[in-house]
Amino acid sequence: MKNIVILGSTGSIGVNTLDVASRFPDRFRIVGLTAGENIALLEKQIKTFRPKIVSVLKEDAAERLRQRYRDYDVEIHAGIEGMISAAAFPEADLVLSAIVGAAGLVPTVAAIRAGKDVALANKETLVMAGEIVTKEAKKRGGKILPVDSEHSAILQALGGYKNENVKRLILTASGGPFYNTPLSGKRLIKPKDALRHPNWKMGKKITIDSATLMNKGLEVIEARWLFDIPSEKIDVLIHPESIVHSMVEYIDGSVIAQLGVPDMRIPISYALSYPARLNGGFPTLDLAKIGSLTFKKPDIKRFPCLSYAYEALDIGGTMPAVLNAANEAAARAFLKEEIGFLDISKIIKKVMSRHIRQDIVTIEDVLLADRWAREHAEDFIKRC
C-alpha cells in the first residue's frame, strides 16, 4: 500500500489523481490533501478518502473544516505552513505536486527535503529552481517522477539508456487553439477563446500557456533538469493530434516515441505506480481510426514565448524564475481582460530585458527574483 499526499487536490491534476487512486484501493491510500479556495469540492474529497491531514489557503476556512470534521481523524491546517506540513507528512510515501504556478515551489521542496518521492505536475518547481531541487532530491534519496504527459513519455522512451546514447529529446506540442491564426487575428482573442483547447482538458493557467506555447517553453526547462540534458539537445515539434507525447532520438538514428490518447490519467497512473504499469480501464489508442499523424516546426516569430524560455534557460541563474513570474502575472492579467493576448509575450520580454541575472544559492534567492519580476510585470500591465 502506497500512502499519497496530493498538493492541489481540487485542480485538474488532483481530481484525475484521485480518480486513478480510487480505481486501485488495494494499492493507494490518500493520506493528505491540500487545496486553495474550492472548499466545497475539498469537503467531498475528505468524506470520500478520509485523509489524515488537510490544508487550505485561509485560516477561517480551516477553522470551519475543523468544526465540521471534528469527529474525523484528521489534522486541518492553513497557509503555507499547512502545505509544508502536508508535504512532509511522515506517513506519506509519495507526494503528488499539482499546485499551479510558483506557489508550488516551497511545499514541493519541503517534500523533497523530507525524503519523499515526488510525482511532479508543478513544472514551475524545476523551472524556477531546477539545480537546487535536483541536487536536494539526490542528497535526500527521493525520486522526482514526471506527471506531464511529455516528460512521462520521455521517461518511458529513455528506458534506462544512458545519456551518452541520446542525441536529442523531442517534446511535442499541440500548438493550442491559435497555431494557424494570423497575427492580426490574435489581437481580437478573448480569454474564452483561449480556454478552448483542442485536445486536453486542463486548468485555466496552463491552457493559456498552451495557447502562447509558453507551456512548451517551461517544459523545455523542466526536461533539462529532469533528464540532465542540455538545452541544445532539446527540440520541440508541433503535433496537432496530441497522440505522440514525446520522443527520444538516439545516436544510432533510432527514434523511440510514446503514444497514447490525450488523457492525463495515463501518465498519472504511471507516476503513481512507477516502474510498474496499471490496468486502469483508460481509453486505448486506435491508430487506424486516427489515420495520420502530422508534425511541423514551431513558428517562433508568431509564438515568441518558446524562444524566451530557451533564452532564460541559457542565461540561467535567476532568469528562468523571472520568466516564469512574468508569465504568471501576464496570463492572470489576460484572464481578467486587463491586457490583450499579444501583450503576454511583450510583457515577458520587457521584464526579462530589465533583469540582471543573479546566481542562485538558496530557495530565498529564487523567491526574491520571483517577487522582483512580478512587481515589474504589474507595472507593465498597468501601462497596458
Task: List, in sequence order, every residue forming a beta bridge with 7; answer none if it has no partner.
Answer: 34, 97
CA-to-CA separations, 2 to 29, 116, 173, 290, in angstroms, rounded: 6, 12, 32, 37
Span 239-256, mean pLDDT? Answer: 97
| pLDDT tens digits along 282-336 | 999 999 999 999 999 999 988 999 999 999 999 999 999 999 999 999 999 999 9
In which band, very low, low, confident or very high, does the pLDDT at 202 lie, cut at 50, 70 and 90?
A: low
| pLDDT tens digits along 71-109 | 999 999 999 999 999 999 999 999 999 998 899 999 999
Name the residue among 132, 121, 293, 359 with its Cα closest to residue 219. Answer: 121
In which band, very low, low, confident or very high, does the pLDDT at 196 lie, cut at 50, 70 and 90?
A: confident
Angle (nearest 5°) at CA 27 between 32 and 148: 65
- Predicted confidence at residue 201, as pLDDT, reads 67
CA-to-CA separations, 39 to 34, 44, 53, 64, 214, in angstroms, rounded: 10, 9, 15, 10, 30
User: Phi, psi at residue 62, to the nearest 5°?
Assistant: -65, -40
| Contact assessment for residue 214 and residue 304, using Cβ atoms and an 8 Å cutoff | no
| Contact assessment for residue 339 and residue 384, using Cβ atoms and an 8 Å cutoff | yes
| pLDDT tens digits along 3-18 | 999 999 999 999 999 9
Q: Output 204 or 142, whichever has higher pLDDT.
A: 142
Span 205-212, mean pLDDT? Answer: 89
| Contact assessment for residue 310 and residue 84, using Cβ atoms and an 8 Å cutoff | no
| Nearest-angstrom CA–CA distance, 11 and 197 | 17
H/E segment holding residue 112: helix 105-113
Strands 166-173 and 255-259: unpaired
Find the farthest-apart pair of alpha carbons in the chain and give their distance in angstroms, rounded: 63
Report the range of poorest mean pLDDT among 62-66, 95-99, 183-187, 344-348. 183-187
Domains and CATH numbers, the chain: 2-146 (3.40.50.720), 148-303 (no CATH), 316-384 (1.10.1740.10)
What is the reported pTM?
0.93
Tell me the CA end-to-end span of the chain in Å, nearest whole number: 53
Extended beta strands in the chain, E state:
2-7, 28-34, 53-56, 75-78, 94-97, 117-120, 144-146, 166-173, 234-238, 244-250, 255-259
- Predicted confidence at residue 74, as pLDDT, reads 97
- Predicted confidence at residue 118, as pLDDT, reads 98
In which band, very low, low, confident or very high, does the pLDDT at 69 lie, cut at 50, 70 and 90?
A: very high
- Percent of the chain scoring above 90 in pLDDT: 87
- Predicted confidence at residue 177, as pLDDT, reads 77
CA-to-CA separations, 251 to 55, 194, 233, 297, in angstroms, rounded: 47, 39, 12, 21
Task: List, in sequence order, every residue forming a beta bridge with 171; answer none if it has no partner.
Answer: 236, 246
Span 215-228, mean pLDDT? Answer: 97
- Predicted confidence at residue 306, as pLDDT, reads 97
Core vs surface per residue 238-267: b (16+ CB within 10 A) or e: bbbbbbbbbbbbeeeeeebbbebbbbbbbb
Does position 384 have pLDDT exceeding 80, yes or no?
Answer: no
- Predicted confidence at residue 191, as pLDDT, reads 79
